[in-house]
Structure 1
Amino acid sequence: MELDRRSFLAGCGTFSIAACAGSPPSLRHASKDDLAADLRPTDNPKFVEWLKAFRSRARHAGISPATLDATLPNAGFVPGVITRDRTQIQTRRTLEEYLSIATSDERLAKGRAAFARHARTLAALEAKFGVDARIVTAIWGLESQYGEKRGQVPVISSTATLAFDGRRAEFYETQLLAALRILDRGDTTLSQLTGSWAGAMGHTQFIPTSYQSYAVDFTGDGRRDIWSDDPTDALASTANYLARNGWRPGLKWGAEAGAGGPPGRAIQPQSGGVRFTVTHNFNVIKTYNNSDFYAIGVGHLADRIGGADPLNGTFPPDENDLTKDDRIAIQRGLDARGYDIGTIDGVIGTKTKTAISDFQRRRGLPVTGTATAEVLAALR
């Protein structure tokens, strides 16, 4: 794994899906008008002074005067990226919860549709790079919901703000310089150079240094365009990334233990839960995101996109002695009473907790926002 991507993921939370995404979920690609107010560049005199000092370092690093003249005067301080960088909440989900999100009915349906829609391109990528096209599609699905959540924060402004802030100054100044080189090369324009609040870009959320190392012009138009609505270059870049990190063609990532998968090492990421047998290619997926949960999520989503069945094994009850079916029953009960709980998937997120709290309050129960057997009984 390259050090810069490991550093980036350490700051964004490797267990989360689209952890550093900057745009809200939607059925379309979000516009800059959808950005939260604190993610829009603003004036900051100290930041302007920092940019003046940075300019000399950028010239020394080989960035052209023309690119610096076009970008730095238009860069703005983005307060929201500092807030998010300093106050990230690392939600510790179980593997069962993670897979419920990673292979939700919606993500699976969209993945199968995307795989069919881009079948010719994906087949060409597999032939060129030797990487399973379903794995590439699954990474696309987890990183940006198949392009719906690419992020619209200006990358020059976000990386400059994080470099100026100083918590990880060297890392983000390196990302800023890499982003400027993208513009120097002409791969995209300043207005199109957008991404997550942390600088991850395009359909498969490359950071600028990963882009420099692995991005591919597969369309042949002279630009390595991972930002456009056409995902071809982004998907090719991801396939290239995996290939160059050691992907072995024809080898499955792994499988649920006892399901007839390839030989490999045994893992059980959640105590008492499903066991898996994983191969070398499982480790290659982890170079993209160094998390067993992520690699299993990618592998299982890829299998499901290809028509495989859900896992056969079961997971133990949660800390409140509820099974996934129990949690789904709570969500359905709340949904039937008019509460907005988001997706009914057995994962107790913010909306479900808020709904539980209101339900408990109305029923005269202790208000905890926690899914419990008491709440389940009250809803039945």
Structure 2
Amino acid sequence: MTPKRKGVKLQSERTFRNWLNGFRARYLNELDPKRVDDFLFLVRFLPDILQKYKNQAEFSLSLSDYINRVCTEDRLSLGQKRYDEWSKPLKEIEKTYGVQAPILMSIWGIETYYGQIRGDYQVFSALSTLAFDGRRRTFFETELFAAIKIADQYNVPSKTLTGSWAGAMGHMQFMPTTYQEHAIDFDRDGFADIWSENPIDALASTAAYLAYHGWDGSLPWGHKVTLPKSFEYELTAPKLQKPVSYWEYLGLSGLPEDKHAMGSIIVPNGVSGPAFWVSGNFDVLKIYNKAISYVLSVGLLSQGLKTGEYLQLDWPRETRPLKRSEMQLLQKRLSDIGCDTKGCDGFFGPNTEFAIRRFQKKNGLIADGYPGPNLLARLGL
């Protein structure tokens, strides 16, 4: 390391310690000072976490690349074995909370490869680093405080409280505040243990979380559908829900059997990619993780666990994810010409989707709300 880089590192560590002392003064005055010393003794600034935060796979990979990376034959095969191993308590959890066991298995498989990869970052250090970074300081300070409260309440040594680089913990990667609000002691041993080799409390806690946010056990997450050539893509606008009978009348195939089931049509890769009918459960999964690539992966893996094989999907090859700087430029270009994206933060959300649809409709493009090659070319990007 050059003297200059070494000096920058030392300066960062000093600034980090100053922030940590300030955090202690703001949040931890009510706790036993000796306990606080023990909790914070091993806290370190971990700069590699900031790089991981910047390059999250859900947002840096194309939809098809992410799904192909997650929905592997190995993950499907191991999931079926784990399902057989834990089938009895899974049935009890499903009966209690109404969340289908394959959904829980799928989340478990994606989050930690069925408990095999739960993360080895010291949670206090991970959350401290992200809070110190400042981009979501209030959020991560709140999570750090919650993690310390959990360790204090249950007498958990800080060195054993490990998780992902983002501070998510246990089999299902709960953030500390999620644990505080939704953790379930399903096996009734006196402690909602999401960390041990036994995954039952973690699986039940996830079911409780999804049920709390409105999961409907009578509905599937979604179905792959085929659209008629005459389909109007404006009907894929967010939150436009219709009964299955309505979509059937328009000529869609592959729909659920229940004619009264409410759902939306989404084309996550635009007009050239596959289409899906999705129920309100799809939106509940987005509360767990807002990335549509993650939610689709959960649905597709759960379907594979039920049938023994994955759906065959025809993904377009000409699409790619936009970098954040490219998305910011797209948002600025749209806003400048009267299609307001309500800000240029570089993240694709409903405001940007609505702006894209408005531009597409005004300029004779198929209004699928997707920033595909034709849209980018028309905008000179």
1:202 to 2:201 alignment: no
**Quick one: distance in 1 between partners of 2:304 and 2:57?**
30
CA-CA distance at 1:313 after TM superposition: 5.0
Matched residue, 2:22: 53
CA-CA distance at 1:124 after TM superposition: 1.4
**Quick one: distance in 1 between partners of 2:41 and 2:264?**
53
1:118 to 2:86 alignment: yes
1:227 to 2:195 alignment: yes
* Higher relative contact order (Cα pairs below 8 Å, separated by 6+ residues): 1
Aligned length: 277
Superposed, 1:255-294 pairs within 5 Å as 255-257=223-225, 258-261=253-256, 262=258, 263=261, 264-271=263-270, 272-294=272-294
CA contact (8 A) 1:155 1:194 kept: yes
CA-CA distance at 1:164 after TM superposition: 2.6
Matched residue, 1:178: 146
Q: Deviations over 1:71-92 (max 9, x none)?
A: 1223222232234335667754
**Quick one: distance in 2 between partners of 1:211 and 1:145?**
20
Matched residue, 2:234: none
* Deviating more after overlay: 172-181 vs 187-196: 187-196
Task: Specify the code of the residue in structure 2 equivalent to 1:56.
Answer: A
CA contact (8 A) 1:154 1:193 kept: yes
Any unmatched runs of 5+ in structure 2?
Answer: 1-11, 226-252, 321-381
**Quick one: distance in 2 between partners of 1:136 and 1:90?**
19
Matched residue, 2:236: none
Residue 90 to residue 192, structure 1, CA distance change in 2 (3 Å): same
CA-CA distance at 1:309 after TM superposition: 4.5
Task: Specify the code of the residue in structure 1 equivalent to 2:195.
Answer: W
CA-CA distance at 1:151 after TM superposition: 0.5
Matched residue, 1:11: none
Runs of 4 or more consecutive aligned structure 1 residues displaced over 6 Å after TM superposition = none
Query: TM-score, length-normalised on structure 2?
Result: 0.67
Query: TM-score, length-normalised on structure 1?
Result: 0.67
**Quick one: distance in 1 between partners of 2:27 and 2:106?**
37
Matched residue, 1:145: 113
Give the SS at the match of 1:277. strand
Task: Specify the code of the residue in structure 2 equivalent to 1:284.
Answer: V
Any unmatched runs of 5+ in structure 1?
Answer: 1-42, 321-380
Give the SS at the match of 2:166. coil
CA-CA distance at 1:131 after TM superposition: 0.7
Give the SS at the match of 2:277. strand
**Quick one: distance in 2 between partners of 1:127 and 1:50?**
47
- Work out the percentage of aligned pairs sharing the same amino acid: 39
Calculate the aligned-residue CA RMSD, in Å.
2.4
CA contact (8 A) 1:114 1:146 kept: yes
**Quick one: distance in 2 between partners of 1:157 and 1:198?**
10
